[in-house]
Amino acid sequence: MSAAAPLPAVPTSPGMSISPEVCEALAAGRPVVALESTLLAHGLPRPDNRAAADEVEAAVRVGGAVPATIAVLDGVPHVGLTADEVDRVCADPDLAKLGVRDLPVAAALGLSGATTVSSTALLAARAGIGVFATGGLGGVHRQSADTFDESADLVALARTSLVVVCAGVKSILDVPATLERLESLSVTVVGYRTTTFPGFYVADSGSTVDWSVDDAAQAAAVFAARRDLVPGAVVVANPLPTGEQLDPALHDRVIAGALAAAEDAGVRGKAVTPFVLDHLHRASEGATLAVNVRLVLRNAELAGQIAAALAALPR
Ligand code: PSU
Ligand code: MN
């Protein structure tokens, strides 16, 4: 009689690989925070992105949760990456940028890529992760009336149940139009300790939101209530303190230049956001890069706290 096949060391969800640490935390009901890889691979320049990847994971741990950076490697969605896997994501200049619609192609053809807010949210929710930290959401681009360019992040958040901690939407976008779309899509949006909607690099986008939460426990409670009611995300908008924001005058100047450069270069589709962010990092001599990393770290730590508060709630 042959011996029984050994059990896999790590149980995994169908079609994805979950790291041992993340798997054990989820099985035990301990807090976990998902992190996206597009902001590393396409939003931050090499080689600074590699150090940022470690710092973001460390910030989640300071907040009280286990980090789960998500990417697709050789066709397999990975939830929680080894150091070597983070190296791959951060070093490859040709790594694909994968939204939800790209995931089946990557899976079927065995391709690798970084996951955006839309695809990270989907994969995180499927793995059973309730909280996700990023920098700024994608949204409605400023020329969208001509280009129809609206990030797939918005529709994905309408149907994916998790908390997304962000510094608002990227300020290269049309922020009021993006807030209107989030309303149409019934995505819950709350400010963290403010009703001022943040402007990514700057504390104030010029728009407001209807609701704010005072602490991580309130954010977790809002999500728990939404989860029981209807699928969809709770966006927790966490502004930088004004003392840490990008100088608003520099902000407005470099953004105008970056958008004009993208127009002149004829950049379209999913290349727009990486092109504009890269242009900003250069034009501001690294000031936007430093602020971008800082806001992601703050979001990661808050997300850790919210995940811990969520884990403490009865399910
Ligand atoms: N936040 C950042 N930097 C980024 C992004 C978010 O601080 O680069 C990424 C996210 O992955 C988001 C994507 O989903 O930008 C939006 O791309 P697009 O506009 O093409 O949908
Ligand atoms: Mn787009």
Nearest residue to 124 (alpha-carbon basis) of 231, 216, 21, 13: 13
Q: Is residue 4 part of a domain?
A: no
Q: Is residue 2 part of a domain?
A: no
233 in Cβ contact with 157 (< 8 Å) = yes
Q: Judging by DSSP bridges, how do beta strands 66-73 and 113-115 pair with one another? A: antiparallel
79 in Cβ contact with 17 (< 8 Å) = yes
- Residues, the chain: 315
174 in Cβ contact with 243 (< 8 Å) = no
Query: What are 274's strand-pairing partners?
Result: none
Q: Is residue 86 part of a domain?
A: yes
Spatial separation of the C-alpha atoms in residues 10 and 5, rounded to whole Å: 14
Instruction: State pLDDT tens for residues 84-103.
Output: 999 999 999 999 999 999 99
Quick check: CB of 135 below 6 Å from ligand 1?
A: yes
> Is position 284 annotated in a ligand binding site?
no
* Banded pLDDT at 315 (limits 50, 70, 90): confident
> Number of structural domains, the chain?
1
Full DSSP string of 169-234: B-TTB-HHHHHHHHHHTT-EEEEES-SBPPBTTBS--S-B-S-EESSHHHHHHHHHHHHHH-S--E
Q: Judging by DSSP bridges, how do beta strands 234-237 and 188-192 pair with one another? A: parallel
What's the farthest any 2 CA atoms get from each other in the chain?
76
* Banded pLDDT at 10 (limits 50, 70, 90): very low
From 10-19, 190-199, 284-293, the region with the lowest mean pLDDT:
10-19
Average pLDDT over residues 201-228: 98
Q: How far is the CA of 267 from the centre of ligand 2 (A)?
A: 11
CATH number at residue 226: 3.40.1790.10
270 flagged as catalytic: no
* Banded pLDDT at 13 (limits 50, 70, 90): low
From 126-135, 140-149, 184-193, 202-211, the region with the lowest mean pLDDT:
140-149
Q: Which of 36, 57, 85, 301 is catalytic?
A: 36
Quick check: CB of 178 below 6 Å from ligand 1?
A: no
Instruction: State pLDDT tens for residues 239-259.
Output: 999 999 999 999 999 999 999
Nearest residue to 290 (alpha-carbon basis) of 79, 178, 78, 135: 135
Ligand 1 atom showing the smallest separation from residue 117 Cα: 14
Domain containing residue 232: 10-312
Tell me which of 53 and 15 has the higher pLDDT: 53
Quick check: CB of 78 below 6 Å from ligand 1?
A: no
Quick check: CB of 149 below 6 Å from ligand 1?
A: no
Q: Determine the Cα angle at 178 with ends 173 and 179, to 5°.
A: 135
Q: Is residue 304 part of a domain?
A: yes
Q: Is residue 203 part of a domain?
A: yes
pLDDT for position 4: 47
* Banded pLDDT at 308 (limits 50, 70, 90): very high
Q: Which two tokens stand for residue 73?
A: 């490697």
Pocket test for ligand 1, best of 35, 115, 147, 153 (most atoms within 8 A of CB): 153
Spatial separation of the C-alpha atoms in residues 167 and 151, rounded to whole Å: 16
Q: Is residue 216 part of a domain?
A: yes
Q: Is residue 112 part of a domain?
A: yes
Answer yes or no: is pLDDT of 142 > 70: yes
Average pLDDT over residues 198-213: 98
Q: How far is the CA of 272 from the centre of ligand 1 (A)?
A: 10
* Banded pLDDT at 12 (limits 50, 70, 90): low
Q: Which of 85, 170, 270, 301 is catalytic?
A: 170
Ligand nearest to the CA of 173: 1
- Helix, strand, or coil here: 35? strand
Q: Which amino acid is at 31?
A: P
Instruction: State pLDDT tens for residues 167-200.
Output: 999 999 999 999 999 999 999 999 999 999 999 9
Quick check: CB of 117 below 6 Å from ligand 1?
A: yes
Average pLDDT over residues 297-310: 98
Q: How far is the CA of 97 from the centre of ligand 2 (A)?
A: 11
163 in Cβ contact with 130 (< 8 Å) = yes
Spatial separation of the C-alpha atoms in residues 200 and 172, rounded to whole Å: 9
36 flagged as catalytic: yes
Answer yes or no: is pLDDT of 232 > 80: yes
Whether ipTM > 0.90 holds is yes
Q: Is residue 253 part of a domain?
A: yes
Nearest residue to 233 (alpha-carbon basis) of 136, 160, 133, 125: 160
> Is position 152 annotated in a ligand binding site?
yes
pLDDT for position 284: 96
Quick check: CB of 19 below 6 Å from ligand 1?
A: no
